Amino acid sequence: MSEMLIHNIGRIVSGDFHSPVLEGDSIRIRDGLIAEISYGLAADADASVIDANGATVIPGLIDSHVHPVIGDFSPRQKIVDFIASCVHGGVTRMISAGEVHMPGRPTGAIGTKSMAIVGAKAWSSYRPDGMKVQGGGLLLQEGLTEADFEEMATAGVKHLGEVGLGGYHDWDRIAEMVGWAKRCGMTVMMHIGGASIPGSDAIGAEHAIKVQPHIASHLNGGPTAPTLADIERIISETDATLEIIQCGNAVIIPRILDLARKHDAVDRVIIGSDMPSGTGVIPLGMLRTISWVSALGDVPPEQAIAMATGTTAQIYNLPAGRIAPGLEADLVIMDAPIGSAADDALETLQIGDTPGISGVIIDGELRVRASVNTPPARRQLELSS
């Protein structure tokens, strides 16, 4: 049995939107799972011990919107190791919104089904620097049958990539396919906003209301935002989770959050990056978007963190995203950066800055000690065993 103890924690952010801060200054981890959260926990003789030195601990960030392809390589931007680099930005899990940038991407039913199965299986065993990627985001194509969805679900395909992304726009047939996907237990994300790649089209409220996806992707634009009228209809006329991303329109974020407040739907908001895209690859994209949501959108930082952790985990039924006994020990230790006007990590986000990360833990293993991407944290962790 392996054990780790993190102690001398300043604040523990739970990842639960409605109860975002936990009591305690210590977290015990056993065999990769969170075992206990309390005050003054003592380490067993053979445990590895991390002294957080008063820093903040949050759940590992879950990027709800990424477009991986093959391995840790982006053909669109010709960049390698971008996924591993995101671990240094506090991201411990990514969700594929569809492997749309695959060179020569097949567009028929057999091709798209095969690509989804290969993506799901490949990413289930390939983990750059420990990153967990839920790959195989199915892109809908003409000719798919209900039996195809059943086969894919059996093979490990867990979700649809962005519905409407690409050239297939038979909305009656799409709505039928989405029904098949839901019956197979798949989570459904849907492109919202202006066209993003060749062959795609603008998709708004009428389409979302017809399809009723689980997730309305990039409400602030991917990269072009829909109208505020469409955003409000999606919030009020669907039950969809509302996604805000880094590679979109930052100006509209406060307006989306105001509309979510109006309809008592702020707890439906999640955060992603939508990279790689034409905007590029941004390893600190999740932290930056959390700070936008908090500083520009007037959301308490601990709740903004929940939008990037527990709320996403809930919609995808993941055993992570919150700091609670029995869940995967994916954690980030962070603090105000050196030179910041803030006193701790939460205040750093609240004023729009990027926290410094001193540690990233995935499945109870310290994968990052002092991020190479964030500014240096004021309070660095100390490790002993």
Q: Is the pLDDT of residue 22 over 80?
A: yes
Provide the pLDDT for residue 385: 64
The span from the CA of 234 to the CA of 256, in Å, is: 11
Provide the β-strand partners of residue 359.
Answer: 333, 369
| pLDDT (mean) for 52-75 | 97
Domain covering 3-59+322-384 in this structure, CATH number = 2.30.40.10
What is the rounded distance in angstroms from the CA atom of residue 321 to the CA atom of residue 349?
19
Residues of the chain with CATH 2.30.40.10: 3-59+322-384
- Strand, coil or helix: 147: helix
pLDDT digits (tens, 9 = 90+) for 321-333: 999 999 999 999 9
Give the pair of three-digit tokens for residue 169.
Answer: 């726009």
Closest CA to 65 of 223, 256, 262: 223
Asked whether residue 1 carries a pLDDT value surpassing 70, the answer given is no
Q: What is the pLDDT of residue 107?
A: 85
Confidence (pLDDT) at 200? 64
SS3 221: coil
Sheet with 33-38: strands ordered across: 33-38, 26-30, 3-7, 48-51, 382-384
Question: For 307-312, what is the mean pLDDT?
Answer: 98
Residues of the chain with CATH 3.20.20.140: 61-283
- 61-283 in CATH: which number? 3.20.20.140
Q: What is the pLDDT of residue 35?
A: 98
- Mean per-residue pLDDT, 249-260: 98
